[in-house]
Amino acid sequence: MIICRSKSEIEKLRRSGRLVRQLLEETRRQARPGVSTLDLERFVEGRLEEAGAKPAFKGYRGYPCCLCASVNEEIIHSIPSERRLKEGDIVSLDLGVILDGYYGDSALTAAIGEISEPLQRLMRVTQECLDLGIRQARAGNRVGDISWAVQQHAEENGYSVVREFVGHGVGRALHEEPQVPNYGQAGRGPVLKPGMVIAIEPMVNAGRADVKVLKDKWTAVTADGQYSAHFEHMVAITPDGADILTEFDEVRTAPGATLTMQEGRL
Ligand code: MF3
Ligand code: CO
């Protein structure tokens, strides 16, 4: 069953969404050459506590940390470690929070110092895949319209999309229905209705789509060792389009406010 949330529930999800984005932006600023991914975990853990929020990932199916920090050929679900970031790396920072019983879930890929032109392009195209997916997230469309838009743009640019992991509904649990794959056919899948809240999260590989999961049972890496990028937003479906719940510094596509960084600050 796909839940349609009330206006007040969506405002609660927006609070969680904004918090998670705020913390991700702060964490991105900490992610510099010489900093370990465990340093980032400690930073975000402290900030979560200050914000009065709980981590959504820690303890989820036994995941040990608040943050997933997936470097280079790691796609998602990398457990923070002593691994130090170095100039030219890219790192997917994925964070989930619970505030007042409602989940926030978002991810971005950060560049460490100067990165190569091909990596800049991989990051840009993955962000564009997310934007194109979000543009399809409107009432009357189907989940497959999002999936198709994401896959199409990635493949058109010579990349591939990961199939083993998908976007998802989000609300009072981290993962709710429906699944939101990053591949599929337009016009297929569940119909999107006002009040549905979904997380769209393209994972785009520079090489082949195949994935391996490491012995730690979590870290997903590309089978061919090529790099991968990942971005994630939570959106609410409105009659007029997607209302992005995990941002506060850009013009939203929904009617109403342009939120500034200032207003978004907690
Ligand atoms: N954003 C990811 C997801 O929605 C992160 C989950 S990490 C986990 O699946 F540890 F909670 F599994
Ligand atoms: Co997610």
pLDDT tens-digit map of 239-263:
899 999 998 754 443 334 333 333 3
Tell me whether the omega of the peptide bond preceding residue 181 falls within 30 degrees of 0, making it cis: no
User: Which structure tokens are listed for 203?
Assistant: 């994972």
Q: Which of 174, 201, 230 for a ligand 1 pocket mutation test, highest count of atoms within 8 Å of Cβ? A: 174
- State whether the beta carbon of 63 lies less than 6 angstroms from ligand 1: yes
pLDDT-above-70 percentage for the chain: 93
Neighbour-count burial of 262, counting CB atoms closer than 10 A to its CB (0-12 exposed, 13-18 middle, 19+ buried): exposed
Amino acid identity for residue 110 in this structure: A
More confident call, 173 vs 240: 173
With contact defined as beta carbons under 8 Å apart, do 88 and 116 qualify? Answer: yes
- State whether the beta carbon of 166 lies less than 6 angstroms from ligand 1: no
How far apart are the CA of 106 and the centre of ligand 1, in A? Answer: 9
Compute the distance between CA of residue 191 and CA of residue 52 in angstroms, rounded to an integer.
36
Tens-digit pLDDT profile for residues 127-171: 999 999 999 999 999 999 999 999 999 999 999 999 999 999 999
Ligand at minimal distance from the CA of 58 is 1
Tens-digit pLDDT profile for residues 84-97: 999 999 999 999 99
How far apart are the CA of 96 and the centre of ligand 1, in A? Answer: 7
pLDDT value at residue 265: 29
Q: Which of 54, 77, 92, 164 for a ligand 1 pocket mutation test, highest count of atoms within 8 Å of Cβ? A: 77
Q: What is the reported pTM? A: 0.93
- Alpha carbon 28 to its chain centroid, in Å, reads 14
- For ligand 1, what atom is nearest to the CA of residue 57? 11
Tens-digit pLDDT profile for residues 67-86: 999 999 999 999 999 999 99
DSSP at 247: -
Model confidence at 18: pLDDT above 60? yes
On average, the pLDDT of the chain sits at 94
How far apart are the CA of 19 and the centre of ligand 1, in A? Answer: 17
Mean predicted confidence (pLDDT) in 100-119: 98
- State whether the beta carbon of 94 lies less than 6 angstroms from ligand 1: yes
- Closest-CA residue, ligand 1 atom 8, reads 57
Model confidence at 38: pLDDT above 80? yes
Model confidence at 236: pLDDT above 70? yes
Compute the distance between CA of residue 15 and CA of residue 9 in angstroms, rounded to an integer.
10
Compute the distance between CA of residue 265 and CA of residue 249 in angstroms, rounded to an integer.
10
User: Which structure tokens are listed for 104?
Assistant: 């926030």
Q: Give the fold, CATH level 3, of 7-244.
A: Creatine Amidinohydrolase (3.90.230)
pLDDT value at residue 249: 56
pLDDT value at residue 258: 36
The domain ranges of the chain are: 7-244
pLDDT value at residue 254: 36
Nearest residue to 247 via CA among 127, 73, 71: 127
Mean predicted confidence (pLDDT) in 57-75: 98
Q: Give kind and range of the element (H or E) at residue 125.
A: helix 117-136
Which residues on adjacent β-strands are paired with residue 191?
Answer: 142
Ligand at minimal distance from the CA of 94 is 1
3-state secondary structure of 189: coil
